A = this chain, B = another copy of it.
Amino acid sequence: MSEDPLKICIAVHSRANYGRIKSVMEAVRAHPELELQLIVGASALLDRFGNAIDQIRADGFEPDATVYYMLEGGTPVTMAKSTGMGIINMSTILENLDPDIVLTVADRFETMSTAVTTSYMNIPLAHTQGGEVTGSIDESVRHAITKLAHVHFPATAQAAENVVRMGEDPDTVHCTGCPAIDAVADIDLSLPHDIFERYGGVGADIDPSEPYLVVVQHPVTTEHKKGREQIKETLEAVTNINMQTIWLWPNIDAGTDAVSEGLRSYREKKENSKIRFYKNFSVEDYGRIIYNTKCIIGNSSSAIREGSFFGTPAVNIGTRQQGREKANNVINVDYEANKIELAIKNQLEHGRYKSVKLYGDGNAGQKIAERLATEDITIQKKLCY
């Protein structure tokens, strides 16, 4: 047929978002029957959170629209308000872009905004990373979005089964693996010699030819008042290990200011720390960094997702990833400095694990684009029991 291509709208709303959808964006752009509509918004536009839009543009994607809607505050009430602002602004943009399908990622409040907007506007909604189990408000939101979505692209077999058990029509559930794996599956994983200079950052100098740790620890929204004490435990453990360390600033959830404040206050006091703080890396360089690290510490899903694929030793702290399917590269510990330190030491001793393809084999983007081009979507959903 010589029909108009289907307009697939993807909204990238944070630096983490981007790595998890980039391969789909590429596959949609390359597909002859699909047209990519790209919205870049929220923390992806903010310097404080690493300006992901610069990476996106550097990768050759020009947004069809940009949109600011994040509130200052990093509190539960500002997360709620940001979601409301997201809906209002996404509505204006979607009305004018008029897409055929909107594809949204995972479980953050920006995703909630996109999902609610799309649902009420009667636009078919596709969703990646549904059916996974974790802690934090993300757990509720992820499953709520599943109940709003018309097509599901879960990353694992277990997640796909969860989506079906929640009452989704099995014909709409396609286990594709996670696009986050695609982005790092086929690249040269060696560390460029200038990789740590290239991204600026603040703190100690890092030598890529020497062993280093990576820490990514986000606030847990359901425990947002404990952010500062939680981060202190990690800081203490990492300081005791005394190895050069790449530390990423946390994302923009409730509690982010407490975590950042904890980090800043540490920086003031510790003059000869071995830590360097960064806001952002390119998707591929982030892959290289966590491939080559001796251990990734904190509560980022990348330790579990890309970590299992790479076999990177990981120490997962606290409740944020509770319940998420993990390969054996991960040791779970509580928010306690000495336990964290011990777990890191164990991982340093163990070294790299065998690669496990739990979250996909690197072709998710391709599979998703193909499905979007052919899926026959009914806008009226129905609980499927």
Which single member of B88, B166, B254 contacts A84 (CB below 8 Å)?
Answer: B88
Interface string of A353-385 (1 = CB under 8 A from B): 000000000000000000000000001111101
**Smallest CB separation, A132 vs chain B (Å):** 9
Of residues A69, A139, A222, A257, which shows the largest number of chain B Cβ atoms within 10 Å of its Cβ?
A69
Q: Give the contacts of A130-148 with B (CB-CB under 8 A).
A: 133, 135-137, 139-141, 143-148
Q: Which residues of B contact A65 (CB under 8 A)?
A: 92, 96
Give the contact-size bracket for chain A: 35 or more
**Smallest CB separation, A127 vs chain B (Å):** 12
- Residue pair A81, B72 in contact (C-beta under 8 Å): no
A297 at the interface (CB under 8 A from B): no
Of residues A45, A76, A141, A322, which shows the largest number of chain B Cβ atoms within 10 Å of its Cβ?
A76
Q: Give the contacts of A157-171 with B (CB-CB under 8 A).
A: 162, 165-167
- Residue pair A121, B80 in contact (C-beta under 8 Å): yes
Which single member of B90, B120, B385 contacts A137 (CB below 8 Å)?
Answer: B120
A172 at the interface (CB under 8 A from B): no
Binding stretch for chain B, among A19-27, A109-117, A188-196: A109-117
- Residue pair B72, A95 in contact (C-beta under 8 Å): no
A243 at the interface (CB under 8 A from B): no
Q: Which residues of B contact A185 (CB under 8 A)?
A: none
Q: Which residues of B contact A166 (CB under 8 A)?
A: 147, 165-167
A66 at the interface (CB under 8 A from B): yes
- Residue pair B68, A116 in contact (C-beta under 8 Å): no
Which single member of B76, B81, B121, B140 contacts A381 (CB below 8 Å)?
Answer: B140
- Residue pair A143, B135 in contact (C-beta under 8 Å): no
Inter-chain pairs besides A85-B88, A88-B89, 16 sampled, C-beta below 8 Å: A46-B72, A48-B72, A68-B78, A68-B92, A77-B91, A77-B120, A84-B86, A89-B89, A122-B224, A135-B380, A143-B147, A143-B167, A162-B383, A165-B165, A222-B379, A222-B380
